[in-house]
Every structure is written in structure tokens, then in C-alpha cells.
Structure 1
Amino acid sequence: MRARLWDFLGSMRLAISLLSILAIASAIGTLVKQNEPMVNYITQFGLFWAQWFAMLGIFDVYNQAWFLIILVFLLISTSVCLIRNTPKMLQDMRTFKHHTRTNSLRHLPEHSDWTSNESLDVLTQRNVRALQKHGYQVRAQENEAGVYIAAKRGRFNRIGYILTHLAIIVICIGGLMDSELSIRAQVHLFGKQPQANALSFAQVPTDGVLSTHTLSYRGDVKIPEGAVTDVVSLAYDQDHYLLQDLPFVLRLNKFMVDYYSTGMPKRFASEVTVQDKSTGESFNQTIEVNHPLRYKGVAVYQAGFDDGGSRLQLAVYPLSGTVAQPANIDATMYKNQPISFAGEPYTIEWRQFKPINVENLAEASGAPIDTTSAFAHAMSPASKVKTLKNVGPVIQFVLLDKAGQATEFRNYMVPVTLDGASVFLSGVRTDPNKDFLYLRIPADAEQSMGDFMRLRAALANTDMRTKAIQLYAKRMRETQQNNPLKGDELEKSLTEILNLFAQGGLQTVGESLQTKVPADQRDAVAQTVTRLLEGSLWELLQTARQADGLPVLVDNPDTGKFMRLAVVGLSDAFAYGSPVFVQLKGFDQVQASVLQMTRSPGQFWVYSGSLMLVLGTLAMTFIRERRVWLHIKPNGAVQHLTLAMSSTRRTFDYQHAWKTLCHAINPNMKHSERTSEYMPTKGDHEDDHA
């Protein structure tokens, strides 16, 4: 039973089967992104398949128990094969395999027989020199039956087989060393508890911190300027993590980043101080991409950068009511900000701040505004050509109402140019798996949103609306003598249009037209209503500016474009999903460096095994093992010669080598004589049995 198990473990069929399974698993691990949030896999594969793939470990292939077990069995199988066959191969490399029976040579596919009248000594010396000239090692034996010459070349071909098998063993050992076996062992055998709550590092209990003797690990840590860390967070699974204690304390003194003219980062580096925990010694070093810090078996790589808790100055504009002026507040990144509006409590969770933000901004397609879906149009700027441009600082935050409903926003600090107009952008989404939809607020002549917010507040003021309607009606009567609306009809129509727009934007106006206007007249009436709405809002803006002591605006193409965008922006604000608009006014940046901490003792062995695999493959491919035998048997005054050759691979170049060798040994022999098929005779059988 033990012998059968030994043969099974060392069999080629088992090794090939294990290699095939590992190759398929590795291909899956390459094609499917590993250790992503579960929601990403649900989005990509659907809930049903994502659950099945998670059960099979597809999303973390290399740390699955079945993968590691297969790796161990492959290691055992290859080791058994190497133990069984290496002594034989080494012995075979040293021996010349003397054939003492001429008949056995005649059974080889490549053999030849001929006779010669030269003496035995002359034939022996000449043929030994000929074989040596062709790169063969030669051994000659003489006895009463004649001279037996054995030659070989390419003996190191067997080293290729040994190296390839040894390479698989070394790579498997390296892979096991760099796996999470040591982490899993500490959890299952030494009482370490993966953490589920998002606590600060200082609050994590001791059973959630791994020993400094952990064999291998990989994790990321974000360090703000001036901060220190001596631990790194390791993802245990989709919902849990562990802290890894480091053998040193790392302090980020300064983070440096350089940019291209487009705003893309060109170089970023971290100036750090490392202090050894055991000795107290410290030193300084700069970490850059491709220039990691290596200390006590831990490699620290520059992985990226992020915000480290910048201080923000913000203007909070109300999107309802008659107040146009914003409330100024201060905030700190990653610290929740409670606010109150109209007696309702809200909480802002600051998620991201980027002082330099490169976006693909291109000229929009120029499609006309569809008033029935103005919100969708304004939130989806179209672009044909990619144009990378730095659009300035951006803040990203989540607004929570008292019921816990979350809406995520992405607001730009400075206006950007889209469709030939300068606008403030604010992205909004309620589902983190979907893209942002963008609200456009037109910038005024001072590149601010003052006029827009002034117009919004005036639209909510009944008195201002009435005054603007009267001014616009008066102007229309003065400039349009043939106006079909007479007396109070004009004021009533303008009042109804503005009231509808103030209640729900263009969508409310459109719904009213659908119910009151016949279908064949709607297009013409819609054009008239749009013109009256823009004119009324123009007078409303002028009225609001005068109320604030500002000069009236000049009616020109720029202000006309502003008013058209303002109409769409005011309409879209009803679907914005927030009672306020948060604008970034200033900031004091605090940068943070994202560093990757790795310990991979198996890396050297994997690289060594890969080199051995390459060398072994080259040895098997280009080193051809060939063995040659020449028997010279005297028969009176005539010498009978038998030449034979064998090789592990009978390739085309092997056949050519056989012909060349035959010509070198006996130039006068015909080709047909060199490759004659041998049919044993009765005497041969007797000689063989003897």
C-alpha cells in the first residue's frame, strides 16, 4: 500500500492534473479582479452568480484553502518525482552504457554494418579521434572479442529535467511563504479576531493586532503630513480586517507632488523618518514610485496620495426661500458636519477633496434643449473629443437627512467652460454604483453664482415677481403695438407662467400646456411661453439687482446666454435633491501619502524558481543527448564494424547528425549501407543468448 501511494504521488498524471487545475485557477484570478468590494461583483455578474462565485472563492483565488491544498500536493508530487528520478539521471549522466553485444546495436533504428581491411589499432585510433572531433566523450574497451567504443554528448540535457522539476518545487514553496497561511494560522490557532467595526487604529483591541513575526502580508496605510504609524491594515475578507504590527515607527515629514501642464501628477514622493522599535535608532529616506524603502524584511512602496484632513471654507446657498446670501461655514475633511435648514437637521459627510482635478472636458454636441427633459439634458453634458484639463478643486460629500437618506454630491470650486458657457458644476447621485448627473449653474460676469442665486431668491418672492411682471408687461406694450394680449390679460398670463415655473420649473409649465392647449397648437404656444418666461425672469433679475444696489445688466448675447442657462438651471434645481448648494470658497490643504507595506519572503524563491525554470527549459530544448556505439570485431584479416546511435528525441537535426557521423567514420560507405535494416540470423540469436 505504501509503495502504491508513493508511485501515485510521483506519477506524471497527478502532477499534470494539479498543474492544469492551478493554471485554470490562476487564469481566473488574472481575469477577475481580486478582493474588490462585493457590490462591484454584484454589479458586474448579477446577484445570483456573484453569490456562487463568492462561495467558490473566485474573488480571492490565491488565498482559498483548496488552492493552497492543490499547491501543497503539487509540491509533494514534484518532490517525490525528483527524489525518485534524480539519482538515476545523475548516474545516467556519468555512465557510457557499454553495449557488449553487437546484436543489441542492430536493433536500434540508426545502425550500420561494414567491413574493413585496416588493422584493429588503426581503426580504433582513427574512429576515437573522429568521435572526439564531433564533440563526443569517448570510452574504448578492448577484450578478446574486439574493441567496444562508447561515446556520448549532451549529457547535461538531464540537468534540464532536474532544474524544471526543482523550479516547480521552489516556486510552490515561495508561493506558500507569500500566502496568507501565517495570518490564517494566527486567527485559527492563536486567538486573533478579525475586526468588523471601522475603529481608529488606537481603538483596535490587542486580539485584532497581528504579531511582528507574521511571515507575509500586504496592506495599505494613509499617513497625513506630520503623522506617524506603526501598524498597517490588512483586509481579512470582504467585511473584516486585521492590524499588522510593524517592527518600526514611520513618520511622514513631507509629501511632494509635481504635475504636468495638464494637471496630471508627474512625480510624487514621501520624505519619511523610520525609527526602529527595538533599538530606537532612526534614519530618513525618500520613498518614490519604483524606489521603495526596505527595512527589516518590510518593503514600503509609494502607492498614491490622498487628502490628509484639509480645512475647508464653504458657502452654503439656500435653494428655497427668499434669502440669496449664503451662510459661511468651516469644515475639516473626514469629520461630519451637522447643519440645519428650515428647522430640519442634516449631516454632511466629507468624502473626498482634490485640489487638482483632471477631467475630460470637450465641446458639447450642441443639441437643442428639450424642455420636456431639461433636467436630464443639463445633468448629462455630451462630448465628442477627449480633452484633458485641470478644472480646479473638487469636493465630494454625502448629505444625510434625519431619516438617514443619503445623496452624494460632487461640486467644483471654480466654473468650467461647457458649450461655450462658463458654468458651475455639481454632480449628484443617490446610488453609489451609478454615474453622477450634473447640474449646471451659469456663472455671471464676476464668475460667481451671485446673479443666479439672486434670481432664485427673487423667484420665491411674490412681491418681486409682481413688480417684474408689471415692468415686463409695460415694456412689451411699448415695444409691441400689435400684441394680441390686451389690458390685464398680459399680466395674468405672465403671472400664471411665473407661478407655474416657481412651483416646479419647466416640467410644471409643460404639464400645464399639455392639459390646456390642443396638441396641434402646443409647439407654437410653447415658443411663446418660453419667450415670455425668459423676458419675465430677465426683468426679475434686474429688479433683484436694483434691490441689492447693483447696476442693471446690459441686454447682449452674453447675458442672453446666461438667462437661457439660468432658466434650465432653476428648473433643474427642483430635482437637485438638496435644500442647499455647497460651494467651496477656500481651503488649507493637508496632504497624505498612501503607502503599501509588504513582507514577502517567498519573493526571492519565486524569482529563483522562475530562473531555474527558464534555464531548465533551455537545457532541454537546446542540449541534445546522443549516444554512439562502435563495435570493431576482427574476423581473420578483415575487421567487422557495427555503428549505432540513439537519442531521446529523433528530430530532423538528429537524422542529419547520424548521416554526418556515418560519413566521418566511413567516408567510402554508401548511404544505403549506413541505414540498412538488420534482420537477425540464427547465429546472431545464438550470440545474443550466449
Structure 2
Amino acid sequence: MSDNTINLNFSWLKKGWQKLISRLADLRLAIILLLAIALFSATGTIIEQGQSVSFYQNNYPEEPAVLGFLSWQVILTLGLDHVYTTWWFVSLLVIFGSSLTACSFTRQIPTLKSARRWQYYKRPSQFEKLALSSQLSNISVDQLIPELEKHNYKIFQEGNQLYARKGIMGRIGPIVVHISMLIILMGAIWGAFTGFMAQEMVATGETFQVKNIFEAGKLSQSQVPQDWKVRVNDFWIDYTNEGAIDQFYSDLSVVDLEGNELKQETIYVNHPLRYDGVTFYQTDWGISGVKVQINNSPVFQLPMAKLNQEEGNLWGTWVPIKPDLSQGVSLLTRDLKGTLLVYDTNGKLTGVVRPGMEIQVEGVTLKVLDLIGSTGLQIKADPGIPIVYTGFGLLMVGVIMSYISHSQIWALQEGNSLYLGGKTNRAQVGLEKEFIEIVNTLEEISPQLIASST
């Protein structure tokens, strides 16, 4: 291959690369990507994530489809049941991050470099092009310096020429904003690949490991706890005076594989337990069982099942009253307050009973000793959250920095005349007031004003 061919290929690649960077740095592309990310993020909030196929079939049927097109097949095909870990959503984040990076290197960083580069004005005609300018007589550059220092300008002087600036941080602000958004994107991507969500319904007194995972990233296995468990020490509900649920609580202990307690905390809604990067939220509750005794039999525990009930929660169980299990009575309850309805073998309501009480039914004495509650926990691990929070913190700093105006002032002394001018990238009114104040102060030093223009 000849040198000319190599140079031609290299030139073609260079032009292609420059064209790609230019397209990525286009503000219109960044806006379109940001809107797409926001749209699909909202979709992931509206459509329940990580549910079973039957859930989507029941809630998003093909006929009639939601909004005329959103059926369970569309959701599963497009991955709308796990939006944040789909290849196309991650691709949007990567392209948006690439756009921010390209914009930073092609626009923001060159703008900062340009702001840091400056030159003295050597001719009076140069001041006419500035937004603010003035010509004073009998004033020297040295007399101007103290006034600029009062307004926190950084001053550079060379003989009869002067340059002063302040607010260079305002030029750095947009770059910090871009960096912070990149950090947020990296945190979101890292969390999507390494995080998981799980749900557990655990009875009081039981110890469990996280198993029921319904949403997990491809690299999340290392985040699932393997060397510790969680024990539910107790669960209880506080009720209002009207009988409605006020709050429900779970007393949890993190224990190692030998049962030694590592951490203990009582959680409730909006007050989770956090341990080793995993967070346990209080989200639901239930009734897992009831302890009963028939006549003088040993105490035994029966599970209670949640029944389908449109009017509210209802749990029930069947209590055998014959040794051969040929007959039994039913117990129903709506909450953990302790009131249970007792139905005989014919389904007729016999009476009510509370824990610690007994009732006569079908010729036997049924004693209810205790109701056993269960706590519903949502378990989440997202290693990307600290990265995202860091990005948001840096974003706020960058936004504040971006509001700082970059102001510049030049001065040139020729004979008895002092030429003064300035400009700013924002806060024009503020610079005008500052400029007039400096000029007025200098006029008081030498009242002979030759000419002034603003």
C-alpha cells in the first residue's frame, strides 16, 4: 500500500471522526435524547416493572388494548416490563453521555481556554467595540488599580496597559454541569446492571435470606446477601381511634449464618433498615397463622390464607375438630386486632372469639391462643445510588457556578488620557452599574473629564 493511499485513508477517517463528533455535540441531538430518556423513564414509572407474565396478561389484555395499542405482548416484546435494563435504554444513556462528552471537548473546554487567553488593548480604537467604554483625563493606570481591587478583579499590567477580570468560575460551571450529568448517567447504568429488587412476606419469628428477586441486573449476583440473614423479631400495627390502620412496624435483626446479631432496627413506612448496601422497606403486612387448641389437645399452629375480597383484606383457615379430619370449623379475620369469626361445619356463624378466649362449637371447646402477623418487605440494592447522589451534588454546584458572570475590563493610558472599557457574558446591568461607579470615583479624583461614552 502506497503512502498516498495511507494518507488518503487516514484523512478519510479523520474527517469521518470529526463529522461524528460534530453530530454528537449538536444541541438538538442532546435535547432529543434527553426527551427520549425522560419519556421512557416515565413509562417505566407508569408500567409496573418486574411482574410475572400472567400479571401483564391480566392487566394489559390484547382486546381491548390500553390506549388502543399497549397490550402485554407489546410490553414484553419491547421490554417495557424492565425498561431501565433494556439494551435500548442503556444505549440512549450511552449516546447521551457521548453527546455531553463531545460537547464538553468541542465547545465548553475551548470556551474556557478562550476565556483564559487575553491580550492587552494597544490602540484607543479597540475600546470603541466594547459594550462599555469611557475616556478620562489626568488619570493614570495606577490610580485605576485600587478601584478594580475593591470590586475583586484580578489585575494584569504591563506598563501603560491593563487587563482585569473576575468570575472565571462562571466559565467552568457549564463544564462541571456536563461532568456531573456524566457521573449521574454512569451511576444509573452501574445501578441498572448491579442492582436488584426483591419482595418477601415473612411471619413473625422467622429468619430468611433474600430469595424472591423479581428484578435484577446482569451483574447483581454479587450484591445478593449470602453471608447474613434477617430475623423478624416482631410485627405489630398501630390503629387510629376510628379503627383504621395508622402505621405498621417490623422489628428486624440482621444476623450472621450462626445466628449472631449484627444489627437491630425497628422499621416502618419511610424508615427502612440499611445494611451492607441492601435496604429493607416496610411495604405490606398480612396474617400468616393462628395458634389454637381443641379441648385438651396440644397447641398447634395453622396457616391462614388471604381470601379474594373486593371490600378489603380477609384471612381464613380451617380448624379440624375430628381426629380423622372429617369435620372442621372455619375462622375468619380482617386484621390483627384479634377478633375472629367462627363458622360451624354448615357454614353458619357461631360467634366471635379473641386470642386467649375459647368458644363452644360443634360440641368441642375451641381456644384461640394467638394470631401471628407477617411483614411485607421490599428489598432493594442499588450500588449506583452513591454515584448518582455525587453527580446531583456536583450538578447543583455547577449550576450555581454557571450563574457567575465573567466580567473583563481593559485600560490603556496615552499621555493624559485613560481609555477604559469592559464587557461581560451575562449580568450586563450589573457590570454597567459597576463600571459607572468606577468612572465616577475616578472623576472625583480628577474632575476634568475630556470625553465619555457608554
Give the TM-score taking structure 1 as reference length.
Answer: 0.48
Give 1 or 2: higher strand fraction.
Answer: 2
Match of 2:171 among 142, 158, 168: 158
1:351 matches 2:319: no
1:277-292 to structure 2, matched below 5 A, reads 277=257, 282-289=261-268, 290-292=270-272
1:597 matches 2:366: no
Counterpart residue type for residue 159 of structure 1: I
Asked whether the 8 Å contact 1:225–1:254 carries over to 2, the reply is yes
- Alpha-carbon deviation of 1:301? 2.5
1:40 matches 2:59: yes
Asked whether the 8 Å contact 1:306–1:594 carries over to 2, the reply is yes
1:76 matches 2:98: yes
SS at match of 1:226: coil
- Alpha-carbon deviation of 1:32? 4.9
Between Structure 1 and Structure 2, how many residues are aligned? 383
Distance 1:63 1:671 in 2: 70
Asked whether the 8 Å contact 2:286–2:374 carries over to 1, the reply is yes
Distance 1:412 1:651 in 2: 75
Distance 1:95 1:103 in 2: 21
SS at match of 1:261: coil
Counterpart residue type for residue 163 of structure 2: A
Consecutive unaligned residues in structure 1, runs of 5 or more: 182-214, 315-329, 335-349, 360-392, 398-410, 415-423, 425-440, 449-583, 676-690
1:145-224 to structure 2, matched below 5 A, reads 147-179=160-192, 181=193, 215-224=194-203
Q: Which residue of 1 aligns with 2:213?
A: 234
1:53-72 to structure 2, matched below 5 A, reads 54=75, 55-72=77-94
Q: Which residue of 2 aligns with 1:646?
A: 423
Asked whether the 8 Å contact 2:140–2:418 carries over to 1, the reply is no
Counterpart residue type for residue 647 of structure 1: T
**Percent of residue pairs identical:** 24
Asked whether the 8 Å contact 1:219–1:234 carries over to 2, the reply is yes
Q: Which residue of 1 aligns with 2:326?
A: none
Query: Per the alignment, do residues 232 and 674 of structure 1 end up closer, same or farther by CA in structure 2, a change over 3 Å counting?
Result: farther
Distance 2:292 2:308 in 1: 9
RMSD: 4.1
- Alpha-carbon deviation of 1:352? 4.1
304-313 vs 286-295, which moves further: 304-313
SS at match of 2:452: helix
1:6 matches 2:25: no
Match of 1:625 among 406, 425, 443: 406
Query: Per the alignment, do residues 50 and 157 of structure 1 end up closer, same or farther by CA in structure 2, a change over 3 Å counting?
Result: same
Distance 1:358 1:260 in 2: 20
Distance 1:131 1:617 in 2: 27
Distance 1:625 1:110 in 2: 15
Q: Which residue of 1 aligns with 2:361?
A: none
Give 1 or 2: higher helix fraction.
Answer: 1
- Alpha-carbon deviation of 1:157? 0.8
Render the CA deviation track for 1:592-649: whole Å, top value 9, x for unaligned: 122222211111111111122122112222x111101111112xxxx23322211112
Consecutive unaligned residues in structure 2, runs of 5 or more: 1-15, 295-299, 318-330, 335-340, 342-346, 353-365
590-599 vs 654-663, which moves further: 654-663
Asked whether the 8 Å contact 2:291–2:371 carries over to 1, the reply is yes
Match of 1:49 among 38, 54, 70: 70
Query: Per the alignment, do residues 5 and 312 of structure 1 end up closer, same or farther by CA in structure 2, a change over 3 Å counting?
Result: farther
Q: Which residue of 2 aligns with 1:613?
A: 395
SS at match of 1:219: strand
Distance 2:434 2:169 in 1: 18
Distance 1:272 1:599 in 2: 17
SS at match of 1:589: strand
Asked whether the 8 Å contact 1:413–1:585 carries over to 2, the reply is no
1:127 matches 2:128: no
- Alpha-carbon deviation of 1:66? 1.6
Distance 1:671 1:305 in 2: 85
Counterpart residue type for residue 249 of structure 1: K
Q: Which residue of 2 aligns with 1:186?
A: none
Distance 2:240 2:96 in 1: 49
Query: Per the alignment, do residues 413 and 127 of structure 1 end up closer, same or farther by CA in structure 2, a change over 3 Å counting?
Result: closer
Give the TM-score taking structure 2 as reference length.
Answer: 0.71
Asked whether the 8 Å contact 2:144–2:442 carries over to 1, the reply is yes
**Structure number, greater radius of gyration:** 1
SS at match of 1:590: strand
